[in-house]
Each structure stands twice: as structure tokens, then as C-alpha cells.
Amino acid sequence: MRSLKKIVASIVVLVFVSACATQTLKQTDHLAAKRPNAGQRIVVLAPDVVLSEFTAGGLMVPNAEWTEKAQGLIKTEIQRVLADSNANVLYASDLNEPGTESETEIQLVKLHEIVGATIAGSQLAPIPTKKDVFDWSLGPDSGALRDEYGADYGLFLFVRDSYSTAGRVALNVFMAILGAPIQGGIQAGYASLVDLSTGEIVWFNMLGRKSGDLREAAPAAETVDLLLANFPTTPSGSDG
């Protein structure tokens, strides 16, 4: 599992570094006909968030204190954004009580990480069978969320952010003097809306940039605004 997570992280970093993405990449043009209506319920899963230090040696080292703070800020901002939407929203129990999630929820969040990374990777290296269609799924196990929460859709968020250590910053400065700047930290993430009756991902939004700071409230709010930009049930999402 650890090696798989490293592969997923590498795919996400490669996509965003190669594309030099600076704003969200929306896929909603494929999904206009599948948007939930106001009467259908959306359960929001606890966001999958990890913040890391980017060392001078090029390693990403997870920082537990930063991660915990970012998770709290992102949860708050998700609630803020969706409170202003037309969505009929409820929140998974673990959103406010970490550690209470079911094994099925844990596995679906992990699966979303992998499937989302594959979708991101397909932006760099298109998959022939997916070239003209947006056809991705978390599988039938997502139906367990429908049964548990009485929801029609599930909202999943994945975010990874990294910040250069003092040594990394110094190395960047030195390399810049030599005319060869090197990669610093990046912020990458994606959000998916899943039809819990089929497991199909009916909306996907991807974010990648070399700025932002999830350790502070204002920039964390900006990140969530970008990740949920054009969310299907918000007024701004009506243009598909």
C-alpha cells in the first residue's frame, strides 16, 4: 500500500509540474446532464489531506501538525461553500469526529485517491478508451454510503500540499544564481461527486499550482473555493 501511495503521489506531482497548472481544470462539460437536483442528498466525506515539508534533498516529509490544522480549516471551508449552494447536504460522522468512520468509508477514500490520480494522469497521457468519454467509477461499494446516510451522492476531496524547508529555499536561491532554478513545493488536489447508486464519478474538479498555504484560514478558503468551483448544485455551476 505504501508503494502504491508513492506512485499516486508521483503521478499527481508529475501531472501538475508538467502542465504547470495554475488554476482548476474542470471536467463538468462532460457531466451537465448528470447533475443532482435540489431534492437529492449529498453526503460529504472527511477530506483526505496531507501537508509535507519539501527538503533540500527533494524528499516530501509529512508534517502531522500542519496536516491536522489544514484538515480543520478545509472542513470548515467546505461547510461554508456548501451552505451557500442549492445542495441538500449532510456530513459524514467522521467529519467532526475523526476516527469514527467505517471501514468502508476508509477504503472508499483510499480508492478515490487512486482513481483521482488516474484521472489526473490521463490529462498528461490520455487513455485511448477514455479519450472521448468521462467514464470513471468508485465501484458498487459506494452503495454502502447510500445505505448508511440515506444519500444519493457522495463528495470526496483529496489535497496534498508541500512547503520548502529553509534548506530547500537556500538551494533554490543558489540554483537560481546559477541560472537553473529547481522545483519548490506545490499544491495539488481534486474533488469528486459520486453517484452512490452506481459508483460513477459524475463531476470532477482538479487543482494544481505552485502557490497557496493550507496552514492559514484565508488561503485555505481560496483553495476550497477553487476545488469546488462550478460545483453542480451551486449557482455558479449552472453554466456547465
Q: Which of 11 and 106 is assigned the larger pLDDT?
A: 106
The confidence score (pLDDT) of residue 240 equals: 41
The confidence score (pLDDT) of residue 78 equals: 93
5: pLDDT strictly greater than 90: no
CA distance 204 to 19: 18
Please indicate, yes or no, whether the overall pTM of this predicted structure exceeds 0.85: no
CA distance 43 to 147: 11
Q: For residue 157, give the nearest of 125, 194, 199 by alpha carbon.
A: 194
109: pLDDT strictly greater than 90: yes
173: pLDDT strictly greater than 50: no
**Cβ-contact 187, 214 below 8 angstroms:** yes
Amino acid at 146: R
Q: Which of 184 and 175 is assigned the larger pLDDT?
A: 184
> If pLDDT is split at 50, 70 and 90, which confidence band does 196 have?
very high
First to last CA, the chain: 36
Q: Which of 19-33, 98-112, 134-148 has the highest mean predicted lDDT (pLDDT)?
A: 134-148
Cell representation of residue 173: 536561491
162: pLDDT strictly greater than 80: no
The confidence score (pLDDT) of residue 224 equals: 93
110: pLDDT strictly greater than 60: yes
The confidence score (pLDDT) of residue 220 equals: 93
